[in-house]
Amino acid sequence: MAKPERTTREGIIDAASKLFYAEGIRAVSVDAVAEAAGVTKRTLYYHFESKDELIAAYLEGRDQPNLTLFRKWFDAADGDLAAKVEAIFVNLARAARHPKWKGCGFLRTSAELANMPGHPAIRIGAAHKKKFEAWLMQVFSEAGIDDAGELARQMLLLLDGSFAVVLLHRDASYMESAGKAAATLVRVAAVAR
Amino acid sequence: MAKPERTTREGIIDAASKLFYAEGIRAVSVDAVAEAAGVTKRTLYYHFESKDELIAAYLEGRDQPNLTLFRKWFDAADGDLAAKVEAIFVNLARAARHPKWKGCGFLRTSAELANMPGHPAIRIGAAHKKKFEAWLMQVFSEAGIDDAGELARQMLLLLDGSFAVVLLHRDASYMESAGKAAATLVRVAAVAR
DNA sequence: CGATGTATATTCACTAGGCGGTATACATAG
DNA sequence: CTATGTATACCGCCTAGTGAATATACATCG
């Protein structure tokens, strides 16, 4: 029994991820997830206590991959610190031009569940963004920038702003604008120290 | 009876606005809106063809008041251009600290309906943000800033980013960070010209 | 080896209520 | 008498979640 259980559970999470991200949380029924996973609903409820728990599992599964991707983009970029930060936005713009792109799953979930402030999924989303911010702060701090914390917050604002704006207008060029703004702020902060 | 008809319709929109903003679109049933408006569902469906139309009416009703508020905050602020822009964010932070604050209705709706790109409500939201961006561009342009359009886009990104981030973390101080970033970008653009 | 016990994993069939939307009828006003 | 507006009552479908039975895997015991 070492494998089959995890495979079923992971299959359910996979199906839930695709559906929740593509359609939204409340637009997707538990039945739909079960069917997409090739499993009966009762089996789904064997592995997850409730839909809420399934939502949480969906976001938890996206936490690390997302962070890894951002770091990869940053590390792979050439140029100074500002250019490396801007590279994140440029890569994101490329991703956002894919037809299946539907914004940031964490933000969309928090928008949809805004009436349930303590919901586990929202806590997971908040923690995810905090990790990203903390990583940026460390990067800035190591680069000798004075108020690294404040600059990291501003990057996060531009990043999440670009998620929201690009989703609304379906115009990925906003992400490049965000990248330019981010680079400007980094350069100002680097000079000012 | 020239007025009561409009009163009924507006009463429904009022009730819908409060509920949709507080709870989210898909979390609120047509029955709930009708009951909150003190009207039967059949009456509601006499005034609105569908729930989708009701959603659109909700956002349409928020378009002008929102824009007016932003302009008022800008106009009322003292100081240079950067300070006046920053004032928008400071005022927004105050609003966001109110317990009933739940982010930007336009963005939350677009996040929730991301799987229906052509939905009327999304078009209304996009138009609303475009109006705000156009107003900012004109302000910057009149101030003699070179790439006023690009700067306006960056302001929008910070604004919508702060909506998203503050909603997620329930920490309005991010709005003040966004204001600082906005002021920095305005000052850089004003010097660079 | 083979029977049995037990925990895990899965299925079918079901419930009670909510959903968006509607058929029909009635009231009131011009 | 017709147009406008409101109400009661309803429809068919979908919703999250469940009860009871069953299948599989594996360890223990005879």
- Give dist(CA A23, CA A10) in Å, integer: 20
B18 and B94 within one domain? no
Is some CB atom of chain B closer than 8 A to the CB atom of A107? yes
Quick check: B107 contacting A, CB < 8 Å? yes
Q: Residue B33 CA to nucleotide D19 C1', Å?
A: 36
* Residue B55, domain member (yes or no): no
- Does residue A101 sit in the same domain as residue A19? no
Mean pLDDT (whole number) for A37-45: 94
A contact residues 110-139, partner B, Cβ 8 Å cutoff: 110-115, 117, 122, 125-126, 129-130
- In whole angstroms, give the CA distance from residue B72 to residue B147: 24
| Residue A54, domain member (yes or no) | no
Q: Is B161 on the interface with A (CB under 8 A)?
A: yes
- pLDDT tens for B95-124 read 999 999 999 999 999 999 999 999 999 999
Comparing CA positions, the residue from A98, A175, A157 lying closest to residue B184 is A157
Q: What pLDDT sits at residue A6?
A: 53
Q: Is residue B53 part of a domain?
A: no
Q: Which B residues 49-68 have CB within 7 Å of strand C? A: 50-52
Spatial distance between the Cα atoms of A167 and A165, rounded to a whole number of angstroms: 5
D4 C1' closest Cα residue: B5
Residue B51, CA distances (Å) to A108, B28, B47, B133 in order:
21, 10, 11, 29
The parent domain of residue B9 ranges over 1-48
The CATH number assigned to the domain holding A18 equals 1.10.10.60
Q: Assess whether A18 and A64 both reside in one domain.
A: no
Q: Which two tokens stand for residue A5?
A: 């259980």
pLDDT of residue A2: 33
The gap between B31 CA and C27 C1' (Å) is: 23
Q: Answer yes or no: is pLDDT of B3 > 70.
A: no
Query: CB-CB: which of A161, A184, A185 is closest to B164?
Result: A161
Residue of A nearest to B104 (CA): A111
* Residue B5 pLDDT > 90: no
Tell whether B85 and B163 lie within a shared domain: yes
Contacts of B127 (CB under 8 A, 6+ apart): B63
The answer to whether position A130 is within a domain reads yes
pLDDT digits (tens, 9 = 90+) for B151-169: 999 999 999 999 999 999 9
The answer on A113 and A72 residing in a single domain is yes
* pLDDT greater than 50 at residue A15: yes
CATH number (domain holding residue B175) = 1.10.357.10
Which residue reads 């003190």 in tokens? Answer: B38
Q: Residue B37: inside a domain, yes or no?
A: yes
pLDDT given at position A3:
35
- Tokens coding A95: 């991703």
Q: Is residue A181 part of a domain?
A: yes
Task: Give me the DSSP letters along A127-187.
Answer: HHHHHHHHHHHHHHHHTT-TTHHHHHHHHHHHHHHHHHHHHHH--THHHHHHHHHHHHHHH
Cα dihedral B107, B112, B116, B119 sign: negative
Residues A75, A44 share a domain: no
What's the mean pLDDT in A155-184?
98
Burial letters B20-40, b for 16+ CB under 10 A, else e: bbebbbbbbeeeebbebbebe
Give chain B positions within 8 Å (CB) of A185: 181, 184-185
Q: Which residue among B26, B113, B164 sits closest to A160, beta carbon to beta carbon?
A: B164
Whether residues A93 and A154 share a domain: the answer is yes
Summary mean pLDDT of chain A: 95
B99 in the same domain as B153: yes
Residue found under tokens 């409500």: B121
pLDDT of A4 reads 36
Give the CA distances from residue A90 to residues A83, A86, A137, A174, A183, in Å, rounded to whole numbers and listed in that order.
10, 6, 20, 10, 11
Dist. CA B148–CA A159, nearest whole Å: 21
For A120-131, what is each residue's pLDDT tens digit? 999 999 999 999
φ/ψ of residue A156, rounded to 5 = -60, -40
- Whether residue B54 lies inside any domain: the answer is no
> Does one domain contain both A33 and A73?
no
Report if residue A119 sits inside a domain: yes
How many structural domains compose chain B? 2
Determine whether the distance from the CB of B146 to the nearest atom of strand C is below 7 Å. Answer: no
Residues A19, A100, single domain; the answer is no
Give per-residue pLDDT as tens, B42-82: 999 999 999 999 999 999 999 999 999 999 999 999 999 99
- Give yes or no: residues B19 and B41 share one domain: yes
The predicted pLDDT at position B147 comes to 96
The answer to whether residues A113 and A184 belong to one domain is yes
Nearest Cα residue to A140 out of A85, A92, A97: A85
Contacts of B137 in chain A (CB under 8 A): none
Domain boundary among A28, A48, A68: A48
